[in-house]
Amino acid sequence: MTYLQTLDAIVTRTIAPAAIATDRDSAFPRAAITALGEAGLLGLVSAKEMGGLGLGLPEAAQVVERIAKVCPSTAMVVTMHFCGTTVIEKLGSEATRREIAAGRHLTTLAWSDTGSRSHFWAPCGTAKLEGAEAVLDGSKTMVTSAGEADSYVWSTQPAAAEGASTLWQVDSKLAGLSEPKFFDGMGLRGNRSSPMLAKSLSVPASAMLGTDGGGFDIMIGTVLPVFATLIASCSVGLMEASLEASIAHVSGSKLEHLGSALAELPTIRAYIARGRIRADMARTLRDDTLAAMAAGRPDTMLRVMEVKVACAESALEVTDIAMRVCGGAAFRKDVGVERFFRDARAASIMAPTSDVLYDFIGKAVCSMPVFG
């Protein structure tokens, strides 16, 4: 059985049946994560010598997209796990790498500081080296899988070196970590995204991932391409789901006094066509971004920045179209459109936000320093 066949079975049996309750109750999808772990899919990008599947970003994008078609909340949890795994696989301990590969360890990123927000590469939180330990202090605005992950890839200012940031692997069970308040969100309600606070949090100095002050290069060079492509894949998946649900509705609903389906109205078909085009354009850019990375093309970082904003903004338009063509019925949860409409709002405001990326892309095409 291929990994996609394994995934389809989990999606059908575990993720899809729980998706409505996951959203309604803001319930973390623990059963889904357990099933994905037991099937080896949480170790998708872990090295084979660690016991993982040894696959890459294209395969991770397929997994995230497939999950997002039924439950974007679960897809976001998996997205952030793959992002954290990318760092730990490169710089973390063998013990943690083996636990992730075995599906027994869920990780995530904790980067967006209260003081710097969308400028995730410039944390305000601090780290102080005290012998064989480091003491971390700082607050994060939103952490996916807060209180549910086994570890956080946490960012601070450098402890003693120059540079924008330093990264740490933080055990979620350590004293000094807290969740100041539950984040009751509009969409992606099951991904357990909440603020987190580190107060006099003591970690081993060996928990540093990479070098002191070297966080920026890891964030931008290693993680941003993974994050941007996978969150774009979330958007692609939910766009497909929205289009399928809206097409099913307009094809099956009749104007009885005219004896015709809603899909026979030219205006409805035109909206559906616009949605199809936008979704196909987004998918094509996502696939080209993967191709750029694989080939080491000079436009790779431009594509990485473009893919997140393009897919996020396309998802806003496509889900709006789905709501529009389904009319009043779209407000009913059983039609299956409004949940994706709400979930689609998140990608455009997730750091780096669409507005920040527009500025970065503008700088890049004008040959200006992007982060200057």
Question: Which among 79, 105, 131 is the end of a domain?
Answer: 105
* Residues 228 and 339 placed together within one structural domain of the fold: yes
41, part of any domain? yes
* Residues 61 and 132 placed together within one structural domain of the fold: no
Q: Label residues 86-122 b or e (16+ Cβ within 10 Å = b).
A: bbbbebbeeebbbbbbbbebbbbbbbbbbebbbbbbb
* Residues 133 and 189 placed together within one structural domain of the fold: yes
What sign results for the dihedral spanned by CA atoms 30, 36, 41, 46?
positive
For the chain, the domain total comes to 3
173, part of any domain? yes
Question: Treating both helix axes as pointing N-terminal to C-terminal, what angle do 224-252 and 57-68 enclose, rounded to 10 degrees?
Answer: 30
Q: What is the pLDDT of residue 262?
A: 84
* Residues 172 and 131 placed together within one structural domain of the fold: yes
Question: Which among 181, 213, 245 is the end of a domain?
Answer: 213
* Residues 97 and 116 placed together within one structural domain of the fold: no
* Residues 323 and 302 placed together within one structural domain of the fold: yes
* Residues 209 and 224 placed together within one structural domain of the fold: no
* Residues 327 and 245 placed together within one structural domain of the fold: yes
Among the listed residues 135, 103, 141, 99, the one whose alpha carbon sits nearest the alpha carbon of residue 120: 141
* Residues 144 and 27 placed together within one structural domain of the fold: no
The domain that holds 124 is classified in CATH as 2.40.110.10
Question: Which among 89, 105, 121 is the end of a domain?
Answer: 105
Q: What is the pLDDT of residue 181?
A: 85
Domain that holds residue 153: 109-213
* Residues 356 and 254 placed together within one structural domain of the fold: yes
372, part of any domain? no
371, part of any domain? no
HEC readout, the chain: CCHHHHHHHHHHHHHHHHHHHHHHCCCCCHHHHHHHHHCCHHHCCCCHHHCCCCCCHHHHHHHHHHHHCCCHHHHHHHHHHHHHHHHHHHHCCHHHHHHHHCCCCCEEEECCECCCCCCCCCCCCEEEEECCEEEEEEEEEEECCCCCCCEEEEEECCCCCCCCCEEEEEECCCCCEECCCCCCCCCCCCCCCEEEEEEEEEEEHHHEECCCCCHHHHHHHHHHHHHHHHHHHHHHHHHHHHHHHHHHHHHHCEECCCCEEHHHCHHHHHHHHHHHHHHHHHHHHHHHHHHHHHHCCCCHHHHHHHHHHHHHHHHHHHHHHHHHHHHHHHHCHHHCCHHHHHHHHHHHHCCCCHHHHHHHHHHHHCCCCCCC
User: Per residue of the chain (372 residues), what is the pLDDT tens digit?
Assistant: 899 999 999 999 999 999 999 999 999 999 999 999 999 999 999 999 999 999 999 999 999 999 999 999 999 999 999 999 999 999 999 999 999 999 999 999 999 998 888 888 899 999 999 999 999 999 999 999 999 999 999 999 999 999 999 999 999 999 999 998 888 899 999 999 999 999 999 999 999 999 999 999 999 999 999 999 999 999 999 999 999 999 999 887 666 665 667 878 899 999 999 999 999 999 999 999 999 999 999 999 999 999 999 999 999 999 999 999 999 989 988 888 999 999 999 999 999 999 999 999 999 999 999 986
* Residues 252 and 280 placed together within one structural domain of the fold: yes
Among the listed residues 117, 139, 116, the one whose alpha carbon sits nearest the alpha carbon of residue 126: 139
Question: Distance between alpha carbon 78 and the CA centroid of its chain, in Å?
Answer: 7
Q: What is the pLDDT of residue 119?
A: 86
Q: What is the pLDDT of residue 115?
A: 87
336, part of any domain? yes
Token duo for residue 272: 């559906």
> Count of CB atoms within 10 A of residue 247's CB?
18
The domain that holds 82 is classified in CATH as 1.10.540.10
43, part of any domain? yes
Model-level pTM? 0.96
333, part of any domain? yes
* Residues 72 and 125 placed together within one structural domain of the fold: no
The domain that holds 252 is classified in CATH as 1.20.140.10
